[in-house]
Copies of this chain bind each other. A is one copy, B any other.
Amino acid sequence: MADALAKRRRGGGRAGNAARRGHAVIEQMPWRLPVNLDRPTEPLDEAGIAALHDGAMRILEEIGVAFLNPEALEIFRAAGCRVEGELVRMDRDFVMEMVGKAPSSFTLTPRNPDRKLVIGENYILFGNVSSPPNYWDMEIGRKVPGTREQCANLLKLTQYFNCIHFAGGYPVEPVDLHASIRHLDVLFDKLTLTDKVMHAYSLGPERVEDVMEMVRIAGGLSHEEFEATPRMYTNINSTSPLKHDHPMIDGCLRLIRRGQAVIVSPFTLAGAMAPVTMAGAVAQSLAEALCAIALFQYVRPGCPCAIGTFTSNVDMKSGAPAFGTPEYMRATQMTGQMARFYGLPLRSSGVCAANVPDGQAMWETSNSLWAAVQSGTNMVYHAAGWLEGGLIASPEKFIMDCELLQQIQRYLEPATFATGPDEIALEAIREVGQSGHFFGIQHTQDRYTTAFYQPFLSDWKNFEAWQADGAVWTPERAHRMFKEIIASFEPPAMDPAIREELTAFVDRRKAEGGAPTDF
């Protein structure tokens, strides 16, 4: 009885129900953790790997990284690293010893244990767009500051689509909520509208502690249960070049001390905050990530860490950031090789510079998502909904991206390249011979419902049928789907007692003033 209650409180077994409910609007692929068995695309030879490693190590040994966090400086000093003011230099032996303690994979278990993720191995998992300050949709038709309602709608898409595995940062920044209590309201929305893995921004101790507490409450967990296995994660960026800010490191230390996971993703734009050469930008990114991971491993050996890449290039003409470029793809692939060299799970992204969900948006996003596949990426951030270099979130783009994510999932299924006798199908070929067709034969009848990927958004009608159907271009189709999904959305089950406890926590923390806003 206690077990059954605990199971119910954790929302066990409800992923399937939620997926079934969703079938009202579209038929989508079931929830699963896709496995990427393709051999990665590896532009670097052994010498290239050695050069990047040596470059990263020499940056850490000779140039050093600034840590604007006194606690981190103390720890590095205690570990025998050379600390001068805020500058830390460390030997490669120390870095490699510490990085060697990090697990090559770990799990993340959200309130619904059916949504548990494995970060690492050959898994490739996708998360929603995170942190754009602005929103755009076909109905509004212009860029507007994000709101709680838009954020909630994008969270509903995050929950609705089975190809989205984790809830990243806020899918749009709800600037109508005061910054002091924003994390409380959005986390309440995230935890009640979704049952997938949660993220905390490392923006001050109060926020980080609040989010951990809310995730604990939502999971119906004791403090011991919460800390026993990773339930959530934070993702930090370094302040490139070669600097880690206080709240980012503080947030990570808080999480790892409670057994939660961290991802370190330097944002190294080649030509701006990193060298104009891609290998230089990657070397710098590796150095920035590895020194933080070394710190965390020294503090808590074996704590779950992933290495992130966000290396892209600028527009040579304007200095504006560019995304999904050829150089971005190569940087992602190179970082993939290095992540395997260091034995760390890899995070990359789905990105574009386009301002609207048009052809450019999709070639840039396709480039970045295929680079994620080719690099052996384990966590794909911003995989759905990102526009304007991350400054805009769009529900139409979200849905268009999910169509592509499903295609990638299907592409990775070994069924697409199976070569057993049933697949070679010699007898079917013999049966049809030199005339006739394969539509009606038993071999086809037995397989046609599952043989091929079935898109939910691509329109495969011929031109005349498409025209008769209103001649609707892709973003308009996505917009209609968005309205229907939101209109029929049902949140995942949550025990009323847990919901009450969460509400009470939010109310109490709001009454206390939330978090300081002087970060």
**Contact of A418 with B by CB under 8 A:** yes
CA distance A403 to B447 in the complex (A): 38
* A52 beta carbon closer than 8 Å to chain B: yes
CB closest residue in chain B, given A322:
B460
Q: Tell me the smallest distance from the CB of A310 to a CB of chain B, in Å.
A: 16
| Complexed CA–CA distance, A58 and B430 (Å) | 10
B55 touches A283 (CB 8 A): no
Residues of B within 8 A of A58 (CB): 426
- Chain A residues 40-98 with CB under 8 Å of chain B are 41-44, 47-48, 51-52, 54-55, 58-59, 62-66, 87
Range of interface residues on chain A? 35 or more
**Complex contact A243–B434 (CB within 8 A):** yes
Q: A453 in the interface, Cβ–Cβ < 8 Å?
A: yes
Residues of B within 8 Å of A212, CB to CB, are: none
* 9-residue interface stretch from A216-224, A228-236, A293-301, A359-367: A359-367
Of residues 286 through 345 on chain A, the ones whose CB sits less than 8 Å from some CB of chain B are 313-320, 322, 325-327, 329-330, 333-334
Q: Would B275 and A419 count as touching, CB distance under 8 A? A: no
User: Contacts A319-B439, A322-B460: A428 and B275 contacting too (C-beta < 8 A)?
Assistant: yes
Q: How far is the CA of A405 from the CA of B34 in the complex (A)?
A: 29
Whole-angstrom CA separation of A489 from B308 in the bound complex: 47
Task: Provide the residues of chain B in CB contact with A270, threshold 8 Å.
Answer: 451-452
Q: A367-B366, A439-B319, A462-B320 are in contact. Are A425 and B277 (CB under 8 A)?
A: yes
> In whole angstroms, how far apart are the Cα atoms of A8 and B426 in the complex?
56
Distance between Cα atoms of A413 and B87 in the complex (Å): 37
- Contact present for A278 and B363 (CB under 8 Å): no
> Is the CB–CB distance between A419 and B47 below 8 Å?
yes
> A417 touching B43 by the CB < 8 A rule?
yes
- Chain B residues with CB under 8 A of A451: 270-271, 276-277, 313, 316, 327
What's the nearest-Cβ distance from chain B to residue A292, in Å? 14
Asked if residues A320 and B460 are in contact (CB atoms below 8 Å), the reply is yes
Q: Is A242 an interface residue (CB 8 A)?
A: yes
When distances are taken between beta carbons in the complex, the residues of chain B under 8 Å from A416 are: 43, 278, 326-327, 330
- Do A430 and B353 have beta carbons less than 8 Å apart? no
Answer yes or no: A176 CB below 8 A from chain B CBs.
no
Shortest CB–CB separation between residue A434 and chain B, in angstroms?
A: 4
Instruction: Give, as a whole number of angstroms, the nearest-CB distance from A356 to chain B.
Output: 6
Inter-subunit contact A327/B459 (CB<8 Å): no
The chain B residue sitting closest to A273, CB to CB, is B437
Known: A407-B325, A425-B279. A355 touches B453 (CB 8 A): no
- Chain B nearest CB from A409 CB (Å) reads 8
Q: Which of A248-284 contact B (CB under 8 A)?
A: 270-280, 283-284
Flag A396-418 by CB within 8 Å of B: 1 or 0 each.
00001001100110110100111
Q: Select A419's contact among B48, B422, B429, B460, beta carbons within 8 Å.
A: B48
Known interface pairs A47-B419, A425-B279. Does A271 touch B452 (Cβ–Cβ under 8 Å)? yes
What separation, in Å, do the CA atoms of A38 and B427 have in the docked complex? Answer: 37
A423 interface residue, CB < 8 Å from B?
yes
Give A339 to B323 CA distance when docked, in angstroms: 34
> Is A274 touching B438 in the complex (CB atoms < 8 A)?
yes
Task: Please judge, given known A-B contacts A39-B39, A360-B457, A458-B354, whether A463 and B277 are in contact too, CB under 8 Å.
Answer: no
Query: Would B362 and A326 count as touching, CB distance under 8 A?
Result: no
Pairs A–B under 8 Å by Cβ, sample size 25: A62-B426, A63-B426, A241-B432, A241-B433, A241-B435, A270-B451, A275-B428, A275-B438, A275-B443, A277-B423, A279-B418, A279-B419, A280-B426, A317-B454, A318-B460, A325-B452, A327-B453, A353-B458, A355-B466, A358-B358, A358-B359, A359-B475, A360-B362, A360-B458, A363-B458
| Minimum-distance CB pairs A-B, first 7 | A280-B425, A43-B417, A275-B425, A326-B411, A366-B366, A55-B424, A359-B474
